[in-house]
Structure 1
Amino acid sequence: MSTQLGRYAIAGAVAAALYSLIYLIFADKLLPQGEAEFAVVPAFLASLLLSFQLHSRWSFAGHGSRNEKVRLPLRFLVVQAAGLVTNVALTYLVTKVLMEPNWVALPPTLILTPLLTFAAQRIWVFR
């Protein structure tokens, strides 16, 4: 499991870099000031597409069955939808309620959500 967690962390770091780049472009440049939670959606969707490929082909390669051609992607999407909701909520809390700069929302979303989704993916998606 430690090798798997290491691969998950590397793949996650790549997806997190993409998420951060897209989030900051939208939050700081493309959206009106104070609307950073809306930047989560395009950032999350882009990193979702990348992370599914990385995790299914590398992080969780050889773990569990790949015979579920429909159920596996659906379960992955359910877990990621929960991650999206978590990131929107954290971003809203940090940028609207606490009134912190947009970048301050990145650390909690890049630490908490991956830990939660790793557990859910290992137990429920790639079992």
Structure 2
Amino acid sequence: MAWKRMCLEIGMGTDIRGGDSTKAAVRALKDALWRNALTIGPAIGQDADDMRVKVWIGAPNPESVDKAQILAVLPHGAGEVEVVEGGLVMPNDPGTDVTVMAHAAAEVFLNVGDPA
């Protein structure tokens, strides 16, 4: 058996006020996941918790993103998170606040097929 990528889900999230990259990243991952229902696992005799999910987050100030909060979003399977520099920071006109945008990609893997 070998781990194979079954799907890639992508999303975008923001923190409109406050500049919280973690909040934007959590919203981005929810955007990626919440409009999908993966049924391939049961179709091939695997439980949803058998999957592995690699989450990629692109956010301003990647070192400030709380990976535990990102992993808590995953409804099934084992996960790992990689946070890289990305997203967008937009200050308001008076310069007293910022809007932060983050992007998420979730790669879903199942252990199927012949080993590579």
Relative contact order (C-alpha < 8 Å, sep 6+): which is higher? Answer: 2
Computing the radius of gyration from Cα coordinates, the structure with the larger value is 2
TM-score (norm. length: structure 1)? 0.39
Name whichever structure is richer in strand by fraction. 2
